[in-house]
Amino acid sequence: MTTTPGATPTIVLVGHGMVGQRFLEALAGRGLTATHRVVVLCEEPRPAYDRVALTSYFSGTSPDELSLTDMRFVEDHGIELYVGDPAVAVDREARTVTAGSGAVFAYDTLVLATGSFPFVPPVPHKEAAGCFVYRTIEDLLAIEEYAKNASTGAVVGGGLLGLEAAGALKGLGLTSHIVEFAPRLMPVQVDEGGGAALLRTIEEMGLTVHTGVGTQEIVVDDAGAVTGMKLSDGSELATDLVVFSAGVRPRDQLARDCGLSVGERGGITVDEQCRTVSDPHVFAIGECALAADGRVYGLVAPGYEQAETAAATIASDEAAFTGADLSTKLKLLGVDVASFGDAHGTSDDCLDVVYSDARSGLYKKLVVGRDGTLLGGILVGDAEAYGTLKAFTGSVPPVAPESLVLPAGAGEAVQLGPAALPDEAIICSCNNVRKGTIREAVTEHRCTTVPEVKKCTKAGTTCGSCVKVLGQLVTAELEASGVEVDKGLCGCFAQTREELYEIVLALRVNTYQELLDRYGREGARGGDGCEVCKPAVGSIIASLAPTIGASGYVLDGEQAALQDSNDHFLANLQKNGSYSVVPRIPGGEITPEGLITIGEIARDFGLYTKITGGQRIDMFGARVEQLPLIWMRLVDAGFESGHAYGKALRTVKSCVGSTWCRYGVQDSVRMAIDLELRYRGLRSPHKLKSAVSGCARECAEAQSKDFGVIATAGGWNLYVGGNGGATPRHADLLAQDLSDAELVRLIDRFLMFYIRTADRLERTSTWLERIPGGLDHVRDVVVEDSLGICEELESLMAAHVANYADEWASTIDNPEKLARFVSFVNAPDTPDPVVGFVPERDQMKPDLPLLSIGMRPATDVLEGSAQR
Environment class of 750 (CB within 10 Å of its CB; exposed 0-12, middle 13-18, buried 19+): buried
Task: State which of positions 75-94 bind ligand FAD (CB under 6 A).
Answer: 86-87
| b/e per residue 83-113 (b: at least 16 CB within 10 A) | eebbbeebebeebbbbbeeeebbbbebbbbb
Quick check: 655 and 623 in contact, CB under 8 A?
no
Q: What is the DSSP string of 494-541?
A: SS-HHHHHHHHHHHT---HHHHHHHHS-GGGTTS---TTHHHHHHHHH
Residue 429 binding ligand FES, by CB under 6 A: yes
Residue 43 binding ligand FAD, by CB under 6 A: yes
Residue 285 binding ligand FES, by CB under 6 A: no
Task: State which of positions 675-704 bind ligand SRM (CB under 6 A).
Answer: 687, 689
Residue 570 binding ligand FES, by CB under 6 A: no
User: What mask of x and - would describe binding to ligand SRM in positions 741 to 770, judged by CB under 6 A?
Assistant: ----------------------x-------
Residue 147 binding ligand SF4, by CB under 6 A: no
Residue 287 binding ligand FAD, by CB under 6 A: yes
Task: State which of positions 827-846 bind other proteins (CB under 8 A).
Answer: 827, 830, 832-835
Choosing among ligand FAD, other proteins, ligand SF4, none, which partner's interface includes residue 520 (Cβ < 5 to 8 Å by kind)? none
| Contact residues for 116 (Cβ-Cβ < 8 A; gap 6+) | 135, 248, 249, 250, 251, 287, 288, 298
Residue 22 binding ligand SRM, by CB under 6 A: no
Choosing among ligand FAD, other proteins, ligand SRM, none, which partner's interface includes residue 651 (Cβ < 5 to 8 Å by kind)? ligand SRM
Neighbours of 717 (CB within 10 A): 21
Strand partners, 732: 720
Choosing among ligand SF4, ligand FAD, ligand SRM, none, which partner's interface includes residue 698 (Cβ < 5 to 8 Å by kind)? ligand SF4
Residue 823 binding other proteins, by CB under 8 A: yes
| Of 403, 461, 511, 612, the one binding ligand SRM by CB under 6 A | 612
| Contact residues for 109 (Cβ-Cβ < 8 A; gap 6+) | 9, 10, 11, 12, 281, 282, 283, 314
Task: Please say which residue, 661 or 834, places its beta carbon nearer to ligand SF4.
Answer: 661
Query: Which of these ranges, 299-307, 694-702, 803-811, 812-820, lies near ligand FAD under the rule CB under 6 A?
Result: 299-307
Task: State which of positions 445-484 bind ligand FES (CB under 6 A).
Answer: 459-466
Task: State which of positions 307-346 bind ligand FES (CB under 6 A).
Answer: none
Query: How many angstroms separate the Cα of 683 from the Cα of each of 332, 575, 649?
Result: 44, 25, 7
Give the span between the Cα atoms of 850 and 854, in whole angstroms: 6
Quick check: 624 and 569 in contact, CB under 8 A?
yes
User: What mask of x and - would describe binding to ligand FAD in positions 254 to 283, judged by CB under 6 A?
Assistant: x-----------------------------
Give the span between the Cα atoms of 480 and 484, in whole angstroms: 9
| Of 173, 253, 770, 824, the one binding other proteins by CB under 8 A | 824
Q: Which of 642, 640, 638, 605 is nearest to 624 (CA)?
A: 605
| Of 324, 428, 695, 743, the one binding ligand SF4 by CB under 6 A | 695
Task: Please say which residue, 150 or 533, places its beta carbon nearer to other proteins.
Answer: 533
**Type of residue numbered 359:** R
Give the span between the Cα atoms of 779 and 764, in whole angstroms: 14
Neighbours of 486 (CB within 10 A): 9
Quick check: 107 and 12 in contact, CB under 8 A?
yes
Quick check: 339 and 365 in contact, CB under 8 A?
no
Quick check: 373 and 342 in contact, CB under 8 A?
no
Within 13 A of 577's CA, how many CA atoms are on the CB side?
A: 17
Choosing among ligand SF4, ligand FAD, ligand SRM, none, which partner's interface includes residue 723 (Cβ < 5 to 8 Å by kind)? ligand SRM
Task: Please say which residue, 26 or 797, places its beta carbon nearer to ligand FES.
Answer: 26
Residues that contact ligand FAD, how many (by CB under 6 A): 36
Question: Coil, strand, or helix at residue 722?
Answer: coil
The alpha carbon dihedral of 223, 226, 232, 233 has a sign of negative
Choosing among ligand SRM, ligand SF4, ligand FAD, none, which partner's interface includes residue 54 (Cβ < 5 to 8 Å by kind)? ligand FAD
To ligand SF4, the closest distance from the beta carbon of 695 in angstroms equals 3
Q: What share of the chain is helix, strand, coil (3-state, %, to 5)?
A: 35, 20, 45
| Of 83, 416, 456, 656, the one binding ligand SF4 by CB under 6 A | 656
Quick check: 588 and 616 in contact, CB under 8 A?
yes
Quick check: 337 and 208 in contact, CB under 8 A?
no
| Contact residues for 773 (Cβ-Cβ < 8 A; gap 6+) | 780
Residue 669 binding ligand SF4, by CB under 6 A: no
| Of 11, 14, 165, 655, the one binding ligand SF4 by CB under 6 A | 655
Task: Please say which residue, 80 or 759, places its beta carbon nearer to ligand FAD.
Answer: 80
Q: What is the DSSP string of 233-273?
A: TS-EEE-SEEEE-S-EEE--HHHHHTT--B-TTS-EEB-TT
To ligand FES, the closest distance from the beta carbon of 376 in angstroms equals 16
Q: What is the DSSP string of 332-379?
A: ETTEEEEEEESTT--STT-EEEEEEEGGGTEEEEEEE-TTS-EEEEEE
How far, rounded to the nearest angstrom, does the alpha carbon of residue 28 sit from its chain's CA centroid? 23
Q: Which of 718, 689, 717 is nearest to 705 (CA)?
A: 689
To ligand SF4, the closest distance from the beta carbon of 708 in angstroms equals 12
| Contact residues for 289 (Cβ-Cβ < 8 A; gap 6+) | 112, 250, 267, 268, 270, 274, 296, 297, 306
For 83, phi and psi rounded to 5 degrees?
-80, 140
Query: Which of these ranges, 75-83, 166-174, 659-667, 719-727, lies near ligand SF4 under the rule CB under 6 A?
Result: 659-667
Choosing among other proteins, ligand FAD, ligand SRM, none, which partner's interface includes residue 650 (Cβ < 5 to 8 Å by kind)? ligand SRM
Choosing among ligand FAD, ligand FES, ligand SRM, none, which partner's interface includes residue 379 (Cβ < 5 to 8 Å by kind)? none
Residue 17 binding ligand FAD, by CB under 6 A: yes
Task: Please say which residue, 110 or 362, places its beta carbon nearer to ligand FAD.
Answer: 110
Strand partners, 335: 332
Task: State which of positions 525-564 bind other proteins (CB under 8 A).
Answer: 527-531, 534-535, 558, 560-562, 564
| Of 280, 422, 724, 773, the one binding ligand SRM by CB under 6 A | 724
Task: Please say which residue, 669 or 778, places its beta carbon nearer to ligand SF4.
Answer: 669
To ligand SF4, the closest distance from the beta carbon of 665 in angstroms equals 7
Residue 114 binding ligand FAD, by CB under 6 A: yes
Residue 595 binding other proteins, by CB under 8 A: no
| Of 1, 506, 726, 855, the one binding ligand SRM by CB under 6 A | 726
Question: Coil, strand, or helix at residue 696?
Answer: coil
Choosing among ligand FAD, ligand SF4, ligand FES, none, which partner's interface includes residue 464 (Cβ < 5 to 8 Å by kind)? ligand FES
Task: Please say which residue, 87 or 199, places its beta carbon nearer to ligand FAD.
Answer: 87
Residue 573 binding other proteins, by CB under 8 A: yes
Give the span between the Cα atoms of 80 and 262, in whole angstroms: 29
Task: Please say which residue, 199 or 702, places its beta carbon nearer to ligand SRM.
Answer: 702
Choosing among other proteins, ligand SRM, ligand FES, none, which partner's interface includes residue 726 (Cβ < 5 to 8 Å by kind)? ligand SRM
Residues of the shown chain interacting with ligand FAD in the complex, contacts defined by CB under 6 A: 14-20, 41-44, 51-52, 54-55, 86-87, 113-116, 134-135, 161, 164, 251, 254, 286-287, 298-301, 303, 328, 463
Residues of the shown chain interacting with other proteins in the complex, contacts defined by CB under 8 A: 491-492, 513, 523-524, 527-531, 534-535, 558, 560-562, 564-566, 568-569, 573, 575-577, 819-820, 823-827, 830, 832-835, 848, 851-852, 854-857, 860, 863-868
Residues of the shown chain interacting with ligand FES in the complex, contacts defined by CB under 6 A: 428-431, 459-466
